[in-house]
Chains A and B, each alone.
Chain A
Amino acid sequence: MNAKERMNQLLLKSLDLPLSAEEQTALDQALEASAALREDQAKLLAMRQLLAKAQLEASPSFADRVMDTIKLRQRPTFTASIIRLYPKVAAACILLLLAGMLGIYLSEGNLSVDALVGVQELSIDEAYTLVDY
């Protein structure tokens, strides 16, 4: 690394980190001796000012938008409601099914497939009549 590069690095370092006494003296001397280095320093400082101006300002309405979104996301959705209701709906269906089977058992005396389907007392002629109809 030549002296010019070293001074450029020291210049950049001086903008963000503290220099040792030795480094500071070397940089001060180089700045005094070199107009180009002074120009670089001025440009870097101008650039940093430019960058600092690029910050966004506060927006009070932003907090309201965040709070609205939080409230919206906390509201239960249709799917969530269905999932929450599901155990009750499933239990009611099972009860209905059992009640139906009990009814069939009490009226037919058994739970055969014919009894469940309701064709136990259907004669073959009646079945043909139904097909023709």
Chain B
Amino acid sequence: MNTEQILVEIREANLSYLMLAQSLIRSDREQALYRLGICEDTANTISGLTPAQTMKVAQSSTLLCRFRMDDELVWNLITSHGKNAANEGVGRLHAAILLAGRHQEAA
């Protein structure tokens, strides 16, 4: 991938993310906060963007959304590595409980 391609891909991803976020917020604001892992203020900003602003924000050299599972414990549970390898369903449920418990990032 050359630089130009990278920028195009990032813009596409940013645009998809913003549009998905906007429609989630429109259909159920509170559940959207949980799904997106964002706070009320961020939700207000995103839902208040005009189409022109959305395009401008998406046009960036970095991604707007960030990886949420940045620790080894949750990652291993989801990808079924380590001692839980045989119990995938249990691992995913365990990861869901751990992720749902992280409201300090949103609030």
Do they bind each other? no
Residues of A within 8 A of B (CB): none
Residues of B within 8 A of A (CB): none
